Amino acid sequence: MAGQLNEAMMNYMPAQKLSARWFVTLGGLWLALAAVLLVYPLLRPTVEVRWETATEVETAGFNLYRGTSRDNISSRINQQGIIPGRGNALAGSVYTFSDVGVKAGETYYYLIEEVEYDGRLNRYEDDVFVYTVPYVTPLTAVLATISVIVGLALIVIGIREEGSL
């Protein structure tokens, strides 16, 4: 009987050691995820500029300008050409543009310029959009915190299992 018990324990212990290693490995992966969640937005910050039109009469499209002050909004950021208009005289449309040329912690001012089919330009100076690019968004902070908690919990479980062998 004692021989059977020892044999059963010998068969069980390697599986438990493997399980402990898996917990530690998974915990490490969760911690790596937390690091990526915190570092990625700093390496590639993006501003999603969104605007909506009520109607669009003779609108070919839009240019979007960015500046670092209200008095200096001069850099056109839609370098690939105008953002095509999608609305009409009865209904406007919703537009978004991803500005990837920004830095975390900086404040930017955005201005929309309507381009009409006949070449006329209408700059909407009264509708300037101001945005400060955060270092870390609230959602990123929450996800990173959850990842750290889960990662550390898995590592602790793995260490405890390893220690109980």
Q: pLDDT: is 32 or 97 the higher one?
A: 97
Q: Which pLDDT score is estimated for 82?
A: 96
SS3 of residue 64 by DSSP = strand
Q: Which pLDDT score is estimated for 11?
A: 53
Cβ proximity of 112 and 72 under 8 Å: no
Q: Write out pLDDT tens, residues 29-76.
A: 878 888 777 777 667 788 999 999 999 999 999 999 999 999 999 999
Most confident stretch, 27-36, 112-121, 142-151: 112-121
47-132: CATH, from 2.60.120.620, 3.40.50.2300, 2.60.40.10, 2.40.50.140 = 2.60.40.10
Give residue limits of the domains in the chain: 2-43+138-163, 47-132
Find residue 131's DSSP bridge partners.
Answer: 108
